[in-house]
Structure 1
Amino acid sequence: MIEVYVDGASAGDPGLSGAGIFIKGHGKAEQYSIPLGRMTNHEAEYHALIKGLEICIEKGYQVVSFRTDSQLVDRAIEKQFVKNASYVPLLERVMELMEQFDLFFIKWIPSKENKVADQLAKNAILKQ
């Protein structure tokens, strides 16, 4: 199973944002810092998850376990529902991508367990 740690960060809310993705499995680790442009922190969290899903699909991973420190994102996926209408297209995209895996898991973790993805997200902000 592939473990994927994702985090979004924003310098301001909204502000320049970045996605951090740390993938480990099959004896190797991959790191991605992806600039996202200007958006809110919550939007950056969703985009980090979407980018992580897209990378895993591109690499042909079929059994994935995602970790996020965003309770908002974790709960939205669990309930397949968001209150904020601006997040609806983001959740729909996540759900669409999730269907492409044989097995998909997502789990909320405390921020202290997501430090690598957090640093990668912050580094992505600096690339803009």
Structure 2
Amino acid sequence: MIEVYIDGASKGDPGLSGAGIFFKNVQEDSKFKIPLGNMNNHEAEFQALIHALKIAKERNYSILSIRTDSQAVDQAISKQFAKREPYKSLLVEALKLMEQFDLCFVKWIPAKENRVADQLAREAIHLNK
């Protein structure tokens, strides 16, 4: 099982945003900083999940335990429901990607346990052009 720590960050609401992704206990490059352009923090959190799933699929990982400090993402995934756009579309995309794995689940963790992904997301904001 691959542990994946994800986080999204925004400088403003909306504002320049970034995603941080950390794959724990893998041999390949495992830290990603992804600039996301202009969006709000919740969108950035969903985008971090989507990007993590795409990277995991490219690397042929089959079992994922995804850790997030975003209660919005955790609850949307567990309930398979988001009330309004753009979250509905992002949730649908994430759920479709999750179906491609043998086992894939999202678990909420406190922010203090997600420091690596948080730092990567903050650094990713500065990569926006």
Task: Name the CA distance, whole Å, in 1 between partners of 2:106 and 2:68.
Answer: 7
Aligned to 1:101: 101
Q: CA deviation at 1:25?
A: 2.5
Alignment root-mean-square deviation, CA: 1.1
**Contact 1:20–1:118 (CA under 8 A) maintained in structure 2:** yes
Q: Compute the displacement of 1:84 (Å).
A: 2.2
Aligned pairs, number: 128
Give the Cα–Cα distance (whole angstroms) in 1 for the partners of residues 75 and 105 of structure 2: 13
Percent of aligned pairs sharing the same letter? 61
Give the residue type in structure 2 aligned to 1:117.
Answer: A
Contact 1:22–1:29 (CA<8 Å) still a contact in 2?
no
* Structure 2 Cα separation of the partners of residues 26 and 34 of structure 1: 19
Q: CA deviation at 1:13?
A: 0.8
State the TM-score, normalizing by the size of structure 2.
0.96
Please report the TM-score for the alignment, with normalisation by the length of structure 1.
0.96
Distance 1:36 1:18 in 2: 5
1:105 Cα deviation from its structure 2 partner: 1.5
Any idea what the Cα deviations from partners look like across 1:47-69, whole Å, max 9, x if unmatched?
A: 00000000000000000100000
Q: For residue 43 of structure 2, what is the aligned residue in structure 1?
A: 43
Whichever residue aligns with residue 98 of structure 2, its letter is M
**Aligned residue for 1:61?**
61
CA distance in 1, matches of 2:99, 2:49: 14
**Alignment gaps of 5+ in structure 2:** none
What is aligned with 1:20?
Answer: 20
Consecutive unaligned residues of structure 1, counting only runs of 5 or more, are none
Q: Give the Cα–Cα distance (whole angstroms) in 1 for the partners of residues 10 and 52 of structure 2.
A: 17
- 1:113-128 correspondence runs (5 A): 113-128=113-128
Change (3 A) 1:28 1:86: closer
